[in-house]
Amino acid sequence: MDNLQEFVSNRIKTLRTNEKISARELSLAIGQGHGYINQIEKGNHLPSLDGLSYICDYFHISLADFFNEDIEYPGFIDKMILYCRKLDTESINYLMLFLRSILKND
């Protein structure tokens, strides 16, 4: 298995297990045969660009987020951003203080 294939395989498995969905469920949810994701995760196949796009759409992430190794949980990050957009300035400041206290930075 080459580096790209290994990365794609591991990334899909991580996204899937974070969402607590089986490979079969994900395969069927994106309109593929029941073993599609399993074959990708085993390293037997790479998804087409369309297939990868369907996978990203399922997890509500962009292709850029999928390939960004620095973002371990892209789906969660995107959801947090959506929630943050609904906050007022005071709430955002409290959230920032909370995050800084957890990370002990800044």
Provide, rounded to the nearest whole percent, the portion of the chain with pLDDT above 90: 65
Per-position DSSP letters for 44-90, written without gaps between them: S----HHHHHHHHHHHT--HHHHH-TT-S-HHHHHHHHHHHTTS-HH
Give the number of domains in the chain.
1
Domain of residue 21 covers 3-103
Confidence band, pLDDT 50/70/90 cuts, at residue 1: low
How confident is the prediction for the chain on average, in pLDDT? 90
pTM of the model: 0.73
pLDDT average, residue stretch 67-90: 84
Give 5-50 pLDDT, tens digit per residue. 999 999 999 999 988 999 999 999 999 999 999 999 999 999 999 9
CATH number at residue 15: 1.10.260.40
